[in-house]
Amino acid sequence: MSHRYVLGISAFYHDSAACLLRDGEIVAAAQEERFTRIKADESFPARAVAYCLENSNIGVDDLEAVSFYDKPLLKFERIIETWLGVAPRGFGSFLKAGPVWIKEKLYTDRAIREGLGGYSGRLLYAEHHESHAASAFLPSPYDEAAILTIDGVGEWATASVGHGHGSEIDMLLELHWPDSLGLLYSAFTYHAGFKVNSGEYKVMGLAPYGTPRYVDAIYGELIDLRSDGSFTLNQRYFNYLSGLTMTSPAFDELFDGPPRSPESSLTQREMDLARSVQDVCEEVVLRMARTAHDRTGSRVLCLAGGVALNAVANGKVMREGPFDRVWIQPASGDAGGALGAALLAWHRYLQRPRVVRADDAMEGSLLGPSFDDVAIERALIGCGARYQQMTQDEIIVHAASLLASDQVIGWFEGRMEFGPRALGARSILADPRSASMQPSINLKVKFREGFRPFAPSVLRRSAEEYFELKDESPYMLVVAPVVQARRFPPSPGDSELWGIDRLNIARSDIPAVTHLDYSARIQTVTAERSPVYHLLIEEFNRLTGCPVLVNTSFNVRGEPIVCTPEDAYRCFMRTGLDHLIIGSFAVAKSDQPMSDAEAWQQSIPPD
């Protein structure tokens, strides 16, 4: 019997991606940025599509349907109405964006067909938040669930509540533009001097350094928050309707000054802004989650949309919300819309039944390209690398021994992750017991701000020995406290330190992954999802008695996660990494020829 294929696509805003289903199963998915090396690449995902098709050895003529993640005409309607509603103030942004929409984005149908080499088959369009909802529920391990999606904006919706049952999704509630939690958070990201659509992680990481001294101002002036989680934003303080910036002069006045200049020194104000908006974000998400429970009566929740990447808010919903279990789509942002659109086409348009899997249908989110030893060795030779080949058992023992001796390694194994998190396939790994490891990796390897926390990968069976986590967290999308037994008491001088100076105080026996507030963004690892990575942590545990590793994405600031062996070797040579473990090959920095590291580091763009 021949297979049936559906391709999902997201593109033309940010984080373009493609996803392929075979007989309803997710068999391949990847973001375009990983191939083009342009972070958050918004262009048509030609390379991601090519990978997906090649992975199943098919062509576009074999596709049953192609499904796009939003409806461009509805989005254009919202943009035109927004410009008319704020005329004449919005004329400048109209002149900048209007011709692009008219020339390119209203011709999405043609762009997709041409991007697919003249595809003439079925082309379907899903609404943006339905794509998010489908990506949240349909791959989940639940036959029935409440669904909550929150992001910046789709066509009109900025958040939605739905109910999934079987292969059906009913959309129940929507919050509409311009009232958006994602854009509120992005406004503070912008004001703190970080880049919108990529710097939100920094705000979340910076929040524990601050105090919530602006919370009252946010509630009093910016947001009219209702008990069900819906709200209205006071547009006097924002500029995204009519201008080309996120915030207005009134915002500057309310929050003690203009936006921080990117790359300038952080002050206590930015830390307090981050803490304040994070506290508000958590409260809004918690209220929305309670409304989802009230409307559906479900005991389980599925989350997606860009705000679902806020792991601190997710952890609060898990601990304080009304749900027994919570499942979060690992590619919650717009990239995951490609997956949701494909699943909607399969179940709704083609009316195919859904099979619920006990874990989930995401294959550990390891859905990208893989490279065998022949391809890896060819790449290493092409790069002029000096390497040693080993068996898998030898590689595991060698890598664990390096980690136990305080070495930092680049780890490249199996299929690349889909979504923004490295999950043990394209990762930088280190020993979490080292108090100096967190700032060292940030500054010498990642070339990014020293305050940014790192995540622990922990054996699933050992997670509760280290973290207050009532459920698993396979996709590193939940923040939870380190258990009291592993915490160190505050040192006498801690209270006298200011801001970032508090970073270097060890707060637990795994200090490299324990944030300022004793929290950690956790990945639980099982042999079923990540067999080789699981073996590595097992061996590290055998050597050290610690079943935890530092895990951060294999890239530097401003660059996407590495995809190919060439990407990995290049990143390895241009950073402070000590060793590279890539497939069956071990590469030591001390054995390599000189690199152009210094010149390249000076060209690293802000992220």
Q: Are residues 310 and 198 in the same domain?
A: yes
Instruction: Please report whether residue 146 resides in a domain.
Output: no
Q: Are residues 391 and 430 in the same domain?
A: yes
Block residue for tokens 């050597």: 543
Paired tokens of 538: 């097992």
Instruction: Please report whether residue 377 resides in a domain.
Output: yes
For residue 244, pLDDT over 70 is answered with: no
Question: In this structure, what CATH number is given to the domain that contains residue 414?
Answer: 3.90.870.20
How many domains does one find in the chain? 3
Instruction: Please report whether residue 148 resides in a domain.
Output: no
Higher pLDDT, 97 or 509: 509
What is the C-alpha separation between 152 and 583, in angstroms, rounded?
Answer: 39
Block residue for tokens 């697919």: 116
Q: Are residues 311 and 454 in the same domain?
A: no
Q: Are residues 302 and 356 in the same domain?
A: no
Share of residues in the chain with pLDDT > 90 (%) = 79
For residue 174, pLDDT over 70 is answered with: yes
Please, which pLDDT band fits residue 14 given cuts at 50, 70 and 90? confident
For residue 220, pLDDT over 60 is answered with: yes
Q: Are residues 447 and 348 in the same domain?
A: no
Write the pLDDT tens digit of every residue in 129-150.
Answer: 999 999 999 999 999 999 999 9
Q: Are residues 240 and 205 in the same domain?
A: yes
Please, which pLDDT band fits residue 166 given cuts at 50, 70 and 90? very high
Print the domain residue range for 572. 373-601
What is the C-alpha separation between 523 and 457, in angstroms, rounded?
Answer: 5
Paired tokens of 465: 């020995």
Instruction: Please report whether residue 59 resides in a domain.
Output: yes
What is the C-alpha separation between 505 and 223, in angstroms, rounded?
Answer: 36
- Label residues 468-484 b or e (16+ Cβ within 10 Å = b): bbeebbbbbbbbbbbbe
Strand partners, 18: 9, 30
**Is the distance from CB of 45 to CB of 16 less than 8 angstroms?**
yes
For residue 376, pLDDT over 90 is answered with: yes
Write the pLDDT tens digit of every residue in 301-358.
Answer: 999 999 999 999 999 999 999 999 999 999 999 999 999 999 999 999 999 999 999 9
Instruction: Please report whether residue 205 resides in a domain.
Output: yes
Write the pLDDT tens digit of every residue in 532-564.
Answer: 999 999 999 999 999 999 999 999 888 999 999
Average pLDDT over residues 242-248: 75
How many other CB atoms sit within 10 Å of the CB of residue 226? 11
Would you state the torsion angle of the CA atoms of residues 232, 238, 241, 243, taken in this order, to the nearest 10 degrees?
180
Q: Are residues 189 and 301 in the same domain?
A: yes
Paired tokens of 488: 């160190």
Q: Are residues 385 and 354 in the same domain?
A: no
Q: Are residues 104 and 122 in the same domain?
A: yes
Residue 444: predicted pLDDT: 72
Write the pLDDT tens digit of every residue in 354-371.
Answer: 999 999 999 999 999 999
Q: Are residues 84 and 203 in the same domain?
A: no
Q: Are residues 228 and 354 in the same domain?
A: no
Instruction: Please report whether residue 144 resides in a domain.
Output: no
Residue 505: predicted pLDDT: 80
Instruction: Please report whether residue 302 resides in a domain.
Output: yes
Instruction: Please report whether residue 156 resides in a domain.
Output: no
Residue 13: predicted pLDDT: 86
Last residue of a domain, one of 327, 354, 386: 327
**DSSP for residue 220:** I
Helix (H) or strand (E) holding 409: strand 409-412
Q: Are residues 339 and 305 in the same domain?
A: no
Please, which pLDDT band fits residue 29 given cuts at 50, 70 and 90? very high
What is the C-alpha separation between 457 and 206, in angstroms, rounded?
Answer: 21
Question: In this structure, what CATH number is given to the domain that contains residue 193?
Answer: 3.30.420.40
Helices (H) and strands (E) in the chain, counts: 20, 21
Write the pLDDT tens digit of every residue in 580-599.
Answer: 999 999 999 999 987 666 55
